[in-house]
């Protein structure tokens, strides 16, 4: 139990410490010291936080970013034959968080008589197999389950739930540019991964 002071008021140890005088001065001992300690701790905390927040952001930010999509050149659009599908490979850089890797992708490009180009994903929308162009029958054919598509990507036969997936493409300064995307297989609707 706390002991009473000269006036008979019971004080806690904290109150006694703040009321004690040093050398007869009227400034309580510990008040100035505790103020400087608290101020130093507060300022040090602010400095620590101001250094930690950017560092944590630098470390975590790449993991929170989505994969970047880039336009990749497939070559000159004029070099494509009209009405003949052409398999085209290209190398693209994929950035995913901290990782950066170079991968080779393939697409099918079909140039129309009006000069427009349709670029198809090389993956069959049925179960994700690769398909090929049959020049004799003038059809795209998937060897896995017999899906067949015409030159415009429409389903002609087989279990495919939707037409061939088209990729974003554009012609810029004579170059055919494409953005590679992948889609879920086996669905009637085109859903991007």
3-state secondary structure string across the chain: CCCECCCCCECCHHHHHHHCECCCCCCECCHHHHHHHHHHHHHHHHHHHHHHHHHHHHHHHHHHCCCCCCCEEEEEHHHCCECCCEEEEEEEEEEECCEEEEEEEEEEEEECCCCCEEEECCECCCCCCECEEECCCCEEECCCCCCEECCCCCEEECCCCCCCCECCEEEECCEEEECCCCECCCCCCCCEC
Considering only residues 186 and 23, tell me which one the structure prediction assigns the higher pLDDT: 186
**At residue 63, does pLDDT exceed 70?**
no
Q: What's the average model confidence in pLDDT over 24-42?
A: 75
**At residue 191, does pLDDT exceed 90?**
no
Topology adopted by domain 72-178: Rieske Iron-sulfur Protein (2.102.10)
**At residue 76, does pLDDT exceed 60?**
yes
Outline which parts of the chain fall under CATH 2.102.10.10: 72-178
Q: What's the average model confidence in pLDDT over 66-71?
A: 70
What is the percentage of the chain residues whose pLDDT exceeds 90? 37
Q: What is the mean pLDDT of the chain?
A: 82
Each residue's pLDDT tens digit, 95-148 = 766 778 888 889 999 998 888 999 999 999 998 899 999 999 999 999 988 899
């Amino acid at each position: 139990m706390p002991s009473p002071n000269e006036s008979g008021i019971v004080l806690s140890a904290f109150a006694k410490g703040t009321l004690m005088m040093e050398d007869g001065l009227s400034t309580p001992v510990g008040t100035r010291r505790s103020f400087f300690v608290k101020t130093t701790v507060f300022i040090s905390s602010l400095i620590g936080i101001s250094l930690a927040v950017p560092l944590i952001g630098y470390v975590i930010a790449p993991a929170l970013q989505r994969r970047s999509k880039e336009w990749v050149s497939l070559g000159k659009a004029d070099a494509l034959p009209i009405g003949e599908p052409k398999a085209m490979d290209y190398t693209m850089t994929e950035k995913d968080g901290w990782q950066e890797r170079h991968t080779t992708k393939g697409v099918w490009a079909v140039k129309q008589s009006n000069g427009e180009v349709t670029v198809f994903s090389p993956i069959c929308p049925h179960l994700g197999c690769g398909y090929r162009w049959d020049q004799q029958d003038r059809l795209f054919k998937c060897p896995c389950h017999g899906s067949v598509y015409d030159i415009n990507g429409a389903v002609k036969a087989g279990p495919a739930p939707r037409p061939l997936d088209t990729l974003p493409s554009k012609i810029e300064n004579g170059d055919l540019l494409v953005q590679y995307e992948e889609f879920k297989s086996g669905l009637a609707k085109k859903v991007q991964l």
